[in-house]
Amino acid sequence: MAVPDRVIRDEIHRDILVPAHHAQIIDTPEFQRLRSIQQLSTCEYVFPAATHNRFAHSLGAYHLAGRFLHHLETAHPGIISDDDSELVQLAALLHDIGHPPYSHLLETPRVYATYDSHESWGRRILESEETAIGQVVKEVLGADRLGRLFAIMDGLDEHQGVAIPKFLKEIVSSQLDVDRMDYMIRDQANTGAQIGGFDSARVMRALRVGDDGRLFVKQWGLPAIEAYLVTRYHMYQQVYFHKVNMLTQNYLVNMLARARHLALSGSLKLSTDLEHMLLNEELSAPQYASLNDAHVKVVLPKWARHEDEALSGYATRLLSRKDFHKSLRIDNLTIEMSEIVLPRLQEAVTEHGFNPELDVIQATIRKRGYLPYVEGIVLEDGRDASEHSALIRSLVQPDERSLVFVPESIRDEMELKVREWVKPSQSSLAQFD
């Protein structure tokens, strides 16, 4: 029975039109799995409505890619072949197919016995003859076009001797790609963050293709680019790097790492799916593509009752949101400073009867600032947007700092100690929030 064309109603973009042969890809178990992978991992502990998933985001990126391509074809008639236009849309649709449960959070060798990046797993899933999506994309595109799709996703300049225009890759992956545009709009809407936002349609309308094959921004579009970059900055500061989000991410990864240790020692029985995640050193693409958030969530009540203090402690906190550790309210605590004070802090919490391995938690924030020139956003005169805008120049500095969490009952005392320890390396003491 043929799959019909369809219209998918989206909370952000409203109607998303999906032709029948693309619907075949979306209807595979591997793509449908993205419904069960939360976009923002543990961010719901801060913003309760932030339970949206990679499925909706992937459809959103696919839709924006279609709009972007239509705009460029209107501005530059004949610049994009129908074949390449379809491949760019599918690259946007499939860019997250290899994400592990809880998105980027569990993309770590601390959790996966067979560790690799989500891009590498995505390729394996799409190339596999054992996955439904691997079979369907090959049937829909054919082997040659599938190879060109991978080349676009990998950011290559050509495939089998045929050039790939730079702007096609930039639609999929760049400072102004459709992935970033969709997730910022979608994440802001679902978290309720009040940060101003930006107009994706205006950003796209301001873009053109230059003689070098790259995208550039018309001068009149600079305010839209400023709004986009400021939104990105504030989303990182207020949402992605929120201290409770960073803490709960640590709880989850630490819990799974502890479960892996206990399972290896014979102290914990795992489900088949979690065995694949934590212990299987030869994980196959179908096995990887069967894993989702639910396999972790379903074991939390059982692990909360486990005799191991660490495993039960992490699971209980994730179940109840009680007894959370509290961050030391010290601004601009650098990674270097935290490495110096952590051993002394562990000794101090031990003196108060706490477990230093469980009750001193460090979270590292690393965010590259806006990157001009090499990866930047170019205006029509060839100069980077940062040269036109003092606002954008202010976003160039990277953000790299450390958050340290301790039990609430001793936070004030530990703060005072840490302030004294770091005083010699600071020109002025950070102030309390």
CA atoms within 13 A on the CB side of 186: 26
**What whole-number distance in Å separates Cα of residue 31 and Cα of residue 289?**
9
Whether the Cβ atoms of residue 93 and residue 59 lie closer than 8 Å to each other: yes
Residues taking part in catalysis = 118
Length reported for the chain: 433
279 alpha carbon, distance to own chain's centre = 24
